[in-house]
Amino acid sequence: MKYELGFGKQVVEVQIPEKNAQRELLPNPVPHGVGGMEEVRRALQEPIGAPLLKDTVKPGQKIVIVTSDITRPIPSYQVLPPVLDELAAAGIPDSDITIVLALGSHRAHTEEEKRRLVGDAVYDRITCIDSDMDKCVQVGTTPDGTPVDMFEPVVNADVRILLGNIEFHWFVGYSGGAKALMPGVSSKRAIQYNHRRMVLPESCAGALETNPVRMDIEAILPFIKADYIVNVVLDEHKNIVHCVAGDVIEAHRVGCKLLDAMYAVKIDSLSDCVVVSQGGAPKDMNVYQAQKALDNARHAVRQGGTIVWVCSCAEGYGSASFERWLKTYGDPADCIKAIHENFELGGHKAAGIAITAQKARILFVNELDDTTTRTVYATPMASAQAAVDLVLSETPNASFLVMPYGGSTLPKLDME
């Protein structure tokens, strides 16, 4: 059987014997609602687990709206106007509203970037500031020992409204919800305490109630209340297709189910070999971005199996800290141990690849040199077909699963 995989701006083909071809995993066809800003307005009129936003706030209260920084795909410029309209309907003046752009561990924005994120009309009306991990105050400690250090303007607000997008997150389970607070507006030490749990097997994409990182994030809520969330689900083109609003837990969980309906695909069994692509350019321009497809493939391969990772990565590693970690820790176990002891952005992606490498052999088809490929705990291969043929020569009856859009397709083993 012939399969096509995106590879940079090209499409590569791979042939797998019919007797070995288990399945091709594709996103689920799901009908969408009204979409865009109108979907946000609809969600605000149909809140989940909470009253209408305009009935949640009162004149005289100081309101903070936390939304994502420039590294996240949420179109804040589309989500903010309906939220601000609800606040205006409640009699809240613009002067009592502050928009906080949640940086987490990322760099500060330029004023031009802030304007682009929130849109001209909002930027000219509302105070917009970056969070600052050096200006946090501790308001508690979670049962797992994570200090609840929050950006002081967020702590001092009377009402906190959290915006975000819900997508699969490879160790928090799903983005969105309380993640806007932790790590969004938290201190460096708080983020390190929380994220070091990423190495635990339960810390994986699609896991919520059993995910130690997500559970610790939500354990901050008794210490700093999240009054309301507005979370969106985006399609492959980053358009809003669904929105949920209301309670930080209840609404978030409904949003996660909407995401599952689009991108979670049930599988009956794990495969001997998973052939995965990020989907081609621009999603596979570097190893840092392409890691998402590799991690999703991890959920479909058996222990000791093989992943054929087909991603161009023509621009190299994609992150200086990521590169440094890979070059420093040549053994996956050492990398995983190091990230647990000293969490660092960039290093966490290296540890993610290391976790996958401990489960399965990685045969990597890319545009990198062989030396670079080997630093990624992978074996360089000249082509996808060569990698498939190698697996077949070793195990003639090997089962194969193909993921052409690995970055946005999460395999879930059907336990029923």
What DSSP assignment string belongs to 152-207? Answer: HHHHH-SEEEEEEE--EETTTEE-SGGGGTTTTTB-HHHHHHHHGGGGSTT--TT-
319 to 152, 286, 372: CA distances (angstroms): 30, 9, 14
Is the separation of the CB atoms in 191 and 105 below 8 Å?
A: yes
pTM (two decimals) = 0.88
Q: Which of these CATH numbers, 1.10.1740.10, 3.90.226.30, 3.30.70.20, 3.50.50.60, describes 2-28+265-413?
A: 3.90.226.30
Cβ atoms within 10 Å of 328's Cβ, excluding its own: 13
97 to 51, 61, 91, 261: CA distances (angstroms): 20, 9, 12, 35
Is the separation of the CB atoms in 318 and 350 below 8 Å?
A: no
Q: Which residues of 290-327 are buried (b: 16+ CB within 10 A; e: fewer)?
A: bbbbbbbbbbbbeeebbbbbbbbbeebbbbebbbebbe
**Residue 48: exposed, middle, or buried by beta-carbon count in 10 A (0-12, 13-18, 19+)?**
middle
For the residues 37-63, what does the mean pLDDT come to?
A: 97
pLDDT of residue 144: 95
Q: Residue 34 — pLDDT band, cuts 50, 70, 90? A: confident
Domain spans, the chain: 2-28+265-413, 36-234
Q: Which of 300, 325, 265, 232 is nearest to 37 (CA)?
A: 232
The tokens for 352 are 């993610």
**Four-residue CA torsion sign, 70, 75, 77, 83:** negative
Is the separation of the CB atoms in 66 and 181 below 8 Å?
A: yes
d(CA 113, CA 20): 50
For the residues 279-292, what does the mean pLDDT come to?
A: 90
pLDDT of residue 275: 98
pLDDT score of 416 more than 60: no
The chain-wide mean pLDDT, for the chain, equals 94
pLDDT score of 350 more than 80: yes
Query: To the nearest whole percent, how much of the chain has pLDDT over 90?
Result: 87
The tokens for 334 are 């050492």
For the residues 51-80, what does the mean pLDDT come to?
A: 94
Q: Residue 41 — pLDDT band, cuts 50, 70, 90? A: very high
pLDDT digits (tens, 9 = 90+) for 231-269: 999 987 789 999 999 999 999 999 999 999 999 999 999
For the residues 282-294, what does the mean pLDDT come to?
A: 91
For the residues 109-125, what does the mean pLDDT come to?
A: 95
Query: Tokens 């190495």 correspond to what residue?
Result: 199
pLDDT score of 64 more than 90: yes
Query: Tokens 């705990």 correspond to what residue?
Result: 377
The tokens for 234 are 């985006």
Q: For residue 403, report the phi and psi dihedrals to the nearest 5 degrees.
A: -125, 90
The distance from CA 184 to its chain's CA centroid, rounded to whole angstroms, is 13
pLDDT score of 300 more than 80: yes
d(CA 345, CA 336): 13
- Residue 342's H or E segment, with its range, is none
For the residues 387-414, what does the mean pLDDT come to?
A: 94
Q: Which of 336, 69, 48, 99 is nearest to 179 (CA)?
A: 69
Query: Tokens 């809140």 correspond to what residue?
Result: 47
For the residues 29-56, what does the mean pLDDT come to?
A: 91
pLDDT score of 317 more than 90: yes
CATH architecture label of 36-234: 3-Layer(aba) Sandwich (3.40)
pLDDT score of 32 more than 70: no
**Residue 33: exposed, middle, or buried by beta-carbon count in 10 A (0-12, 13-18, 19+)?**
middle
For the residues 64-81, what does the mean pLDDT come to?
A: 92
Q: Residue 104 — pLDDT band, cuts 50, 70, 90? A: confident
The more confident residue out of 192 and 97 is 97
